[in-house]
Amino acid sequence: MTLTLEDTLKWLHGFDATVTAQKAYLSELDTPIGDGDHGNNLARGAAAIEDALGKQEPADLTAALKTIAMALVSKVGGASGALYGTAFLEMAKASRETQEVADLLAAGLAGLQKRGGATTGEKTMIDVWAPVVAAAKAGNLTTQVIDDAVQATKPMKATKGRASYVGDNSIGHLDPGSVSSGYLFSEMLKAGVTA
């Protein structure tokens, strides 16, 4: 299906509410394998998105995605801001050519890979984005696909990001960025966007 401006706004409002509610949990996940700020970072991003969207109703899908991207890039202040921000920036660019959900998410994933240099299996949000994009392309994205991808980061050893500094000690913990990416895609499905 194609992504509309209306669905995008609904989707992001849902995501903003969820990360704000889960702020403490996301930061807690970031504590044993990171610096304990993921929830705080994203809650700041969520507030910035709400602020930016509230100030001026975006004219179209591209404008909305770009507004979201700039809010994340400028307000999050961590790896996840640069990463989510770049993903939304690439989706905004791609949305001039296509509004197909799977294609837009694929453009977002390509942006994440360009910015962070990670590939699958390195215990980062790529481990959720990649299977989600694959399922979306096949037309069978479900909450089960999302949840499985998030859980699969637990036994992985981190080789990118802050968690890579603790080496083997990263094994056995969920990756915080993967959990928040799981929220992003679950909220997308909840907003009625299917792929």
Partner 1 sequence: MSLGIIIVSHVDKIAAGVQTLISQVAADVSVTIAGGTDDGGVGTSVEKIQQAISDNKADEILAFYDLGSAKMNLELAQDFSDKPVHLYDVALVEGAYTAAALLQAGVDRTAVEAQLADLKIK
Ligand X SMILES: Nc1ncnc2c1ncn2[C@@H]1O[C@H](COP(=O)(O)OP(=O)(O)OP(=O)(O)O)[C@@H](O)[C@H]1O
Q: Is 141 left (phi over 0), alpha (psi -120 to 50) or beta?
A: beta
Using the contact rule CB under 8 A, the part of the chain among 4-12, 54-62, 80-88, 181-189 near partner 1 is 80-88
Does residue number 83 form part of the binding site for partner 1 (CB under 8 A)? yes
Query: Taking Cα atoms as reference points, which of 52, 114, 50, 40 lies closest to residue 78?
Result: 40
3-state SS assignment for residue 100:
strand
Please answer whether residues 7 and 191 qualify as being in contact, where contact means their C-beta atoms are separated by less than 8 angstroms: yes
* Residue closest to ligand X when measured from CB atoms: 177
Tokens describing residue 153: 């980061």
Please answer whether residues 149 and 132 qualify as being in contact, where contact means their C-beta atoms are separated by less than 8 angstroms: yes
Tokens describing residue 142: 């479900």
Does residue number 37 form part of the binding site for Mg ion (CB under 5 A)? yes
x/- letters, 1..20, toward ligand X (CB under 6 A) = --------------------
Q: Which is nearer to partner 1, 39 or 81 (CB)?
A: 81
Please state the closest distance from residue 36 (CB atom) to ligand X, in A: 8
Does residue number 47 form part of the binding site for partner 1 (CB under 8 A)? no
Please state the closest distance from residue 153 (CB atom) to ligand X, in A: 8
* Binding-site member from 34, 81, 108, 177 for Mg ion (CB under 5 A): 34
Please state the closest distance from residue 38 (CB atom) to ligand X, in A: 4
Q: How far apart are CA 41 and CA 19, in angstroms?
A: 10
Please answer whether residues 194 and 141 qualify as being in contact, where contact means their C-beta atoms are separated by less than 8 angstroms: yes
Whether the CA torsion 152, 23, 92, 160 is positive or negative: it is: negative
Please answer whether residues 81 and 41 qualify as being in contact, where contact means their C-beta atoms are separated by less than 8 angstroms: yes
x/- letters, 47..76, toward ligand X (CB under 6 A) = ------------------------------
Binding site for Mg ion (CB under 5 A): 30, 34-35, 37-38
Binding site for ligand X (CB under 6 A): 30, 34-35, 37-38, 41, 78-80, 83, 112, 116-118, 124-126, 160-162, 175-178
